[in-house]
A and B are shown apart, each in its own frame.
Chain A
Amino acid sequence: MSASNTSTISSVGAPSRRNTELALLVFAVLIPVFAYANVGLAKDGSLPAGLLAYGLGLGLLAGIAHLIVRKFAPYADPLMLPIATLLNGMGLVFIWRLDLEPSLGKAMAPTQLMWSTLGVALFVAVLVVLKDHRILQRYTYISMVVALVLLIMPVFFPGINGAKIWVTIPGVGSLQPGEFAKIIITVFFAGYLMVKRDALALASRRFMGLYLPRGRDLGPILVLWVLSLLILVFETDLGTSLLFFGLFVIMLYVATERTSWIVFGLVLSAAGAVFVSTFEHHVKDRVDNWLNPLALVNGGVTETAQTMYAFGSGGMFGSGLGQGYSRLIGGIAPKSDYILATVGEELGLAGLMGVLLLYGLLIERGVRTALAARDPFGKLLAIGLSGAFALQVFVVAGGVTGLIPLTGMTMPFLAQGGSSVIANWALVAILLRISDTARRPAPSPAPSTDAEPTQVVRTQ
């Protein structure tokens, strides 16, 4: 007997994973429907009337998005769309659940459903129109101008709840341009850093273990720092300025591989935050609330403490959907900024961790896309978009759980807010486009002309 069993290891030809995505999508639609039924049973003792319509609506949105991905981005990552759908669906359920509390003002779930539909429409449009993400590279400096305009615009409009981040169009509603600026400025950073990264990485002196860049290379980061401080001062919005500065530092670090940028970034943002929080009234309040949550404000404890109570009463496994008391949070935005408190109370630590893990998975897929992308622009764009998403999740979740002072930002997909949900669907669409390009198997080489049989040429 002289046969041998040999095992060989071969890489699997990149599967498109679209069927995996479809299965996960069905799962991702069923979970919010279950939650919706659960809320109805807990609040009224009967299944809510809109159950079928809601389920079909969400299923239809997910189905259309899936078919478009199947057609236009067949090799895209299979996880991003289901996770985004699940988060959006859960957000709708939570907003509807808070609508059932009469003390929290008018119903917002129908509008949010409309915004989600618009978001999916933009998702579809991006996938259909944007055939290749490298097209965006042509618009590097245009996108810088557009992003700056979007960022500066809210200064000229009246602030809402102390923060000037809205643009109000009479008759239509208000818009948060910062959410869109987030994507557009990432395009600019990616295009700019791709060209400048060698100058930033190599032309530097070493000083005390840190690479000090030349003054003229330091220019852009200082300009960005001043700009984010200006946002902080004039729009009194801690979240947006943190997001933009953090985004720039992340992308600089990824582009140049120099740890010194992180140190610079942290020092500059700490200095900026301390400086502004000492002088700016609105920001100072937030910091005070964060430092002394149990201080008495208007005859009660601060919102920060109230959210802590909500998390505490939720405990390990939560009070159950529809059975929490998050209506007692006296905040101004229980359906947007504080929606995580409701999640924490009604689903408990276990549920909150699950939701945060979903965000983590979405970000991980984004970073994974950046690793897999073959072109430097796509790499930087993917890391920038997932970085912006991660920063936003961190700023909101950190603010609500009391890790950092609360800032007015929305939890992507989960929280009520039209601009946020639309912008984040577009963000996911761009990530899917990059991941489709990255995961697409390389085309087989064209048959060589030399391979053809030699011909005899008679010269006489």
Chain B
Amino acid sequence: MSELTLTVMRLGFLAVLWLFVIVAVQVIRSDLFGTRVTQRAARRGADQSRPPQQRQQQAQNQRQQPQNNRQRRGAPTKLVVAEGSLTGTTVALQGQTITLGRAHDSTIVLDDDYASSRHARIYPDRDGQWIVEDLGSTNGTYLDRNRLTTPTPVPIGAPIRIGKTVIELRK
């Protein structure tokens, strides 16, 4: 057998052995992160009564929407739950009002003992600036450390605290 063949086989064997180890680790990895993240178009209420075709169109519109948003620089594109039982949940911001609370028709249904059923809402004003407004909740909504009394503009990255849940707007 030529020297070259044996060298190729020698290195090839090591490569195959390590490939097995890496594949095994990948299997473990898929076992560890055994959760599925599903994107869904969640417009509650009106959305459900529409025929599926229209929904598809809507989905296409949604895909085009971010391009329009991108023209305005520095605007947040998503809302992220940073703390609390819903940690990791994100909602894309596309000009719609987001309602927060324990009520089942809220955009983000808070599973939090300190939240009211209709706790707060976050909406864009005419200039595209995002505003948070407390809806008369029992325990209050806090922006940074201040309890909200009036609708207040939300800077990017500022924590909005509702009970044990913390929400941030991010780019």
Contacts and interface: CB of A to CB of B under 8 A. Distances in A.
B37 A347 contact: no
Interface string B1-34: 1000111011111101110110111011001001
A90 B169 CA distance: 55
B57 to A, nearest CB: 11
Given A86-B20, A350-B18, A4 B13 contact: no
Interface residues of B, number: 49
Contact of A3 (B9, B31, B62, B108): B62
A34 B16 CA distance: 9
Contact of B23 (A11, A24, A323): A24
B26 to A, nearest CB: 10
Q: What interface size band does chain A fall in?
A: 35 or more
Given A318-B10, A350-B14, A351-B14, A5 B42 contact: yes
Contacts of A355: 17
Contacts of A365: 28
Contacts of A357: 21
Contacts of B150: none
Given A7-B89, A86-B20, A1 B96 contact: yes
B21 A5 contact: no
Contact of A6 (B13, B17, B88, B107): B107
Given A1-B65, A8-B37, A41-B9, A361 B21 contact: yes
A10 interface: yes
B24 A12 contact: no
Interface in B53-104: 58, 61-62, 65, 88-98
Contacts of B37: 7-9
Given A5-B39, A6-B91, A78-B27, 9 more contacts: A3-B94, A11-B36, A12-B35, A17-B27, A31-B20, A83-B24, A320-B10, A354-B18, A358-B24
29 contacts: A1-B65, A2-B96, A3-B43, A3-B47, A3-B62, A4-B92, A4-B93, A4-B94, A5-B40, A5-B94, A6-B91, A6-B107, A6-B108, A7-B90, A8-B37, A8-B40, A12-B36, A31-B17, A34-B12, A38-B6, A42-B1, A42-B6, A79-B27, A79-B28, A320-B9, A320-B10, A347-B17, A350-B14, A354-B18
